[in-house]
Amino acid sequence: MFSSQDTIVAIATPAGRGGIGVVRVSGQSSLEIAGALLALDRPLEPRHATFSRVRTDQVVATYFPAPHSYTGEDVVEISGHGSPVVLREIVEAAMQQGARLAEPGEFTLRAFVNGRIDLVQAEAVADLIDAVTPLQARAAFDQLEGTLTGRIAEIDRELFDLVAKLEASLDFPDEGYHFLEDGEAAGALNALEQKLGALTCESKRGRLIREGATVAIVGKPNVGKSSLFNALVRVGRAIVTPVPGTTRDLVVERVDIDGFAIELVDTAGLRATADEVEREGVARARQASSIAELVLVVLDGSEPLDDVDYEVLRETVGARRLIVSNKSDLPPAHNAEHADPSVNVSSKSGAGIDSLRTMIRRELDTFAGVPRDSVMITNVRHAELVARARAAVQRARESVLSPDGPVPEEFVLTDLQEARAALEEVTGRRTTDALLHEIFSRFCIGK
């Protein structure tokens, strides 16, 4: 897909203006190209900052020799003032010296191709850069450090061991499971299944952290949904109005609740109505509450509950929900008992909003269902492959434990090879150009 013979160049810092901006050059001619465009009288020294000029800017250049650079190739990083005009000039100057503009993600792709990082780590680079909450950043950083890679390598070692023993016993067909003690295969497969199961379970929380959770605010008009939305977002995004039914569209805002990226959705309310526009809003509200990980059902605590409130409660009965009794600054009109967790808040004064945030956080934690500090699979691709490996190991275990006596080793081996193949796809030991293209084309240029 990409030729690794070329020397590539790109601006590595974000578009726009800043104190400094960095142009990265990578490839076998980096040093030569940098030397020419910096007009140096002696070559750049490894890992030393060298002050120089390129066209209209003063710059500092640093040379990272292969193989101990980000890409594993010779890399020169040129820091200039963070002006798009100046940085583009540096890139053009490098291109005139023979560099080619890098494709999206090409620096990281080269790091992968040159064995500096595996695929999990390459994907973690993108996640780390895209992280919007500290918890997302931590999960990505853990993967960059190789925690998931390590767990997978450990499982793969055990699989490899078992495969080797089964293959050895294939060479001595008369002896049956000759190289395995009685019950050893079953025991090993049980342990493997458990480890893969734990990883699968952890992927649920990981995905919530990476992709965020949708929290929908529902309730009849005028109970204070938009006000609550605003109180949670703490910025005035939704239109707050005393006229019922004016929040006709969905208003969405991303907020950080203790590290969970929450997509907070304000809906139009569930009131049945003839009004076309509002009906559309009602339909969306139903839809939002069916796809949301958590629904906040808002009631007006200062008014007696009416039929519409009960309808709202019925509509959301199947969803994971919190009952939010709003307007606690006014005298309470009802003391409803709920089976679901409930909280009194005042969107107006802010009373109870922090408790609500804590409850949202707690609900999402139990939804994810695993402790905080475990290795997290945050990526759908990884989760699917681990699930595939687990299913293959389960099949192998069933074959070994078959009540009709052990099945031929070939069958068990086929399943175990499949499990290994899936795990190798996670780390990128086994991969295709199409997959690499799919992963790296999502990166920006310069990464």
Q: Is 302:331 a contact under the CB 8 Å cutoff?
A: yes
CA dihedral sign of residues 256, 258, 261, 263: negative
Is 4 a binding residue for ligand GDP by CB under 6 A? The answer is: no
Query: Strands 260-266 and 251-257, how do they pair?
Result: antiparallel
In whole angstroms, the minimum distance from the beta carbon of 123 to ligand GDP comes to 40
Question: For the window 155-184, what string marks contact with ligand GDP as x by the rule CB under 6 A?
Answer: ------------------------------
Pick 248 or 429: Cβ nearer ligand GDP: 248
Pick 203 or 346: Cβ nearer ligand GDP: 346
Strand order in the sheet with 57-64: 49-54, 57-64, 75-82, 18-26, 8-11, 100-101
The conformation of residue 173, written as its DSSP 8-state character, comes to G
Pick 21 or 224: Cβ nearer ligand GDP: 224
Is 329 a binding residue for ligand GDP by CB under 6 A? The answer is: yes
Residue-wise DSSP of 196-242: HHHHHHHHHHHHHHHH-EEEEEE-STTSSHHHHHHHHHTS--SPP-S
Is 347 a binding residue for ligand GDP by CB under 6 A? The answer is: yes
In whole angstroms, the minimum distance from the beta carbon of 254 to ligand GDP comes to 19
In whole angstroms, the minimum distance from the beta carbon of 225 to ligand GDP comes to 3
Alpha carbons 311 and 297: distance in angstroms, whole number: 11
Pick 49 or 330: Cβ nearer ligand GDP: 330
- Retrieve residue 292's tokens: 């949301």
Pick 273 or 414: Cβ nearer ligand GDP: 273
Q: Is 78:23 a contact under the CB 8 Å cutoff?
A: yes
By CB under 6 A, the count of residues binding ligand GDP is 19
Pick 34 or 268: Cβ nearer ligand GDP: 268
Is 203 a binding residue for ligand GDP by CB under 6 A? The answer is: no
State the Cα torsion 287-314-325-363 to the nearest 10°: -60
Pick 203 or 328: Cβ nearer ligand GDP: 328
Is 325 a binding residue for ligand GDP by CB under 6 A? The answer is: no
Pick 138 or 284: Cβ nearer ligand GDP: 284
Alpha carbons 201 and 187: distance in angstroms, whole number: 21
Is 221 a binding residue for ligand GDP by CB under 6 A? The answer is: yes
Is 226 a binding residue for ligand GDP by CB under 6 A? The answer is: yes
Q: Is 139:209 a contact under the CB 8 Å cutoff?
A: yes
Is 271 a binding residue for ligand GDP by CB under 6 A? The answer is: no
Query: Strands 260-266 and 213-218, how do they pair?
Result: parallel
Is 344 a binding residue for ligand GDP by CB under 6 A? The answer is: no
Distances (CA, A) of 422 to 32, 415, 429: 42, 11, 10
Pick 241 or 366: Cβ nearer ligand GDP: 241
- CA R_g for the chain: 29
Pick 127 or 300: Cβ nearer ligand GDP: 300
Alpha carbons 149 and 151: distance in angstroms, whole number: 6
In whole angstroms, the minimum distance from the beta carbon of 237 to ligand GDP comes to 12
Is 289 a binding residue for ligand GDP by CB under 6 A? The answer is: no
Could you say which residues in the range 305-324 bind ligand GDP, by CB under 6 A?
A: none
Helices 184-211 and 147-170 sit at what angle, rounded to 10 degrees?
A: 150
Which three-class secondary structure state does DSSP give residue 253?
strand
Helices 433-440 and 106-113 sit at what angle, rounded to 10 degrees?
A: 140
In whole angstroms, the minimum distance from the beta carbon of 218 to ligand GDP comes to 9
What count of other Cβ atoms lies within 10 Å of the Cβ of residue 432?
9
Q: Is 141:376 a contact under the CB 8 Å cutoff?
A: no
Question: For the window 227-256, what string marks contact with ligand GDP as x by the rule CB under 6 A?
Answer: x------------xxx----x---------
Is 210 a binding residue for ligand GDP by CB under 6 A? The answer is: no
Pick 137 or 240: Cβ nearer ligand GDP: 240
Residue nearest ligand GDP, Cβ-based: 224
177 CB-side CA count, 13 A: 20
In whole angstroms, the minimum distance from the beta carbon of 314 to ligand GDP comes to 18
Is 327 a binding residue for ligand GDP by CB under 6 A? The answer is: yes
Alpha carbons 411 and 321: distance in angstroms, whole number: 46
Binding site for ligand GDP (CB under 6 A): 219, 221-227, 240-242, 247, 326-327, 329-330, 346-348
